[in-house]
Amino acid sequence: MYEFRKQASGQGFGTRAEGPESVVGHMRKIDRAKRLIRKHSRLFMCPLCGAPVSFNEASSLICSTGHCFDLSKYGYIHLLPRPVKPAKYDKAMFESRHVICRSGFFSELVEQIRDIVRNGIGNTHKRINVLDAGCGEGSHLADLVKGLGLTDAEVLGVGMDISKYGIRIASREYPGLIWCVADLAQSPFMDQQFDVILNIFSPSNYSEFARMLHDDGVLIKIVPGRDYLKELRNIFYGQTDKQSYSNERVVTHFRQHFRLVDTRQIRYSRRLNPTDLKHLIYMTPLSWGTTEKNIQRVLQMGISSVTIDVTMVVGKKG
């Protein structure tokens, strides 16, 4: 459902909402989403005109010029001014990604992110606002926020992705966070609202990152390394120019926009059962350029483990 509309009027805030950990357990997901967005509505701005917005009694974010964005029945806010259908990023792909994430496939990666946030931000802020720009189905952000919740700081997690399929899963599985369908090029957030911005295996917009990040905040970007899923890459792209990969250009581009404060290489192996292997193949872009026949051939090869090899770059403004 297309959930942007133009409205002539509408305004008002409800009662002050509680944070994710203090919301009554039996509360419906949609009601939790309303309370959370109402409480933190000052984070948002209109992605069309840049005006501040308020969350009205009809469960919509509306700006002073009448641009109105409705809360979906699934519990996320839809902030795209026009429908978008990203190629290949369909419901099945995000469901497979969710299965892989819940299996602990990326647990070491998330722990490294958690360590950076704890050491660099957690001791200096009473509340930490974290934005995952390109959050997909939301598991990375949810795992990070859950871990950071063990500290004394209040943590607010906000996830945005251009795909409604990924955000629907995120809002279904993790109702204690704010989820938005939005375009990074027209980010719906006010200036300097976030202490941490995550950008994991996703395109970047450094001017928007700089605008939305606090002056002392950190940008954490994760990019694949040379051997990331090499077992699959060698099979799908053996003897072609896609068999090898370098992230040097991406890291160099990062350093041209943000001051590099940390770099980490994260590498480990993960064992897979046949079901997880199937989901991994269907979630990774490595399989998008091949045929279904080739995918079935790979599934029959009995691959029992794969390599996770990523580069984490951490930057600050200035």
Tens digit of each residue's pLDDT (9 = 90 or more) over 101-131: 999 999 999 999 999 998 877 556 678 999 9
**CB 311 within 8 Å of CB 264:** yes
**What is d(CA 107, CA 134) in angstroms, rounded to the nearest whole number?**
18
**CB 180 within 8 Å of CB 79:** yes
- Please name the residues in contact with 240: beta carbons below 8 A apart, sequence gap of 6 or more: none
What is residue 72's DSSP assignment? Answer: P
- Please name the residues in contact with 300: beta carbons below 8 A apart, sequence gap of 6 or more: none
DSSP H or E segment with residue 282: helix 274-283
Q: Enter the pTM of the model.
A: 0.88
One digit per residue, pLDDT tens: the chain, 318 residues?
A: 334 444 433 332 222 233 343 334 446 888 999 999 999 999 999 999 999 999 999 999 999 999 999 999 999 999 997 777 666 788 999 999 999 999 999 999 999 999 999 887 755 667 899 999 999 999 999 999 998 875 556 899 999 999 999 999 999 999 999 999 999 999 999 999 999 999 999 999 999 999 999 999 999 999 999 999 999 988 887 756 555 678 899 999 999 999 999 999 999 999 999 999 999 999 998 888 778 888 888 888 889 999 999 999 999 998
Under DSSP, is residue 108 helix (H, G, I), strand (E, B) or coil? helix
Dihedral sign for Cα atoms in the order 297, 272, 312, 244: negative
Angle at 136 between CA 119 and CA 205, to 5 degrees: 70
Under DSSP, is residue 230 helix (H, G, I), strand (E, B) or coil? helix
What is residue 159's DSSP assignment? Answer: E
Alpha helices per DSSP H over 217-288: 230-237, 248-257, 274-283
**What is d(CA 266, CA 223) in angstroms, rounded to the nearest whole number?**
10
Q: What was the pLDDT predicted at 242?
A: 59
**What is d(CA 265, CA 261) in angstroms, rounded to the nearest whole number?**
14
Q: What was the pLDDT predicted at 4?
A: 44
Q: What is the dihedral of CA 203, 209, 212, 216, to 10 degrees?
A: 140
Q: What was the pLDDT predicted at 104?
A: 95
What is residue 16's DSSP assignment? Answer: P
